[in-house]
Amino acid sequence: MAFQISSPAFEHNAGIPSRFTCEGEDISPELRWSGVPDGTRSLALIVEDPDAPDPAAPRRVFVHWVLYNLPATSTGLSENLRSDQLPYGTKAGQNGWQRAGYGGPCPPIGRHRYFFRLYALDIELPDLGDVDKLRLLDAMEGHVLAQAEMIGTYQKGD
C-alpha cells in the first residue's frame, strides 16, 4: 500500500471548507494516513501555502502548521486538534504567525493552494524547541523514508 494522506473534509485538489479557515472556525481539518513504510520511527507534518500573498505573483511560502514526532503507529489527527491535545510525544513547531499550532487559510487575494505534506522518518527527532519549517526540514535531512501529499484550495468568500 502506498503512503498517502487524505481528509474526510475535502478531496485532493478541491476546496477546503470555510470552517477550517479564518472566515470560519479556524480549526484544523481531520487528517488520515495509511501505508506508513516499514522502518518508520516518527512522522512529521508541514502545511503550507506557496501562493502567498498573491497566486498571480507569489513571493513566499506561508506556513500554516508544523508538527513532528507524530507516532509512527498513528493513523491520523482528529478535527479541531489543539496543541495540548496532540498524540503523546508529538511536538508543534512555529507557523507563519510565529505561534505553535494550526492556523487556517486566510489568503488576501485569489485562490491559493495548501499543501499538506506528511513525512515518514527513520528516527525520532530530539526536542527542537521553537522550531520553524526550515529548521525542521534541516533536522529531517537524510532521514525521510517517504512523503505523502494532498492539496486543498481556498479563496475568501468560498
From first to last of the 158 residues of the chain, give the pLDDT tens digit: 799 999 999 999 999 999 999 999 999 999 999 999 999 999 999 999 999 999 999 999 999 999 999 999 999 999 999 888 999 999 999 999 999 999 999 999 999 999 999 999 999 999 999 999 999 999 999 999 999 999 999 999 87
Total structural domains in the chain?
A: 1
How many Å apart are CA 60 and CA 112, to the nearest integer? 12
> Which range of residues forms the domain containing residue 108?
4-154
* CATH number (domain holding residue 27): 3.90.280.10
Q: Which amino acid is at 86?
A: L
Coil/strand/helix, residue 139: helix
C-alpha cell at 97: 504567525
Counted residue by residue, the chain has a size of 158
Residue 83 has what pLDDT? 84
Residue 13 has what pLDDT? 98
Residue 11 has what pLDDT? 97
Answering whether pTM is above 0.95, one says yes
The answer to whether the CB of 138 falls within 8 A of the CB of 146 is no
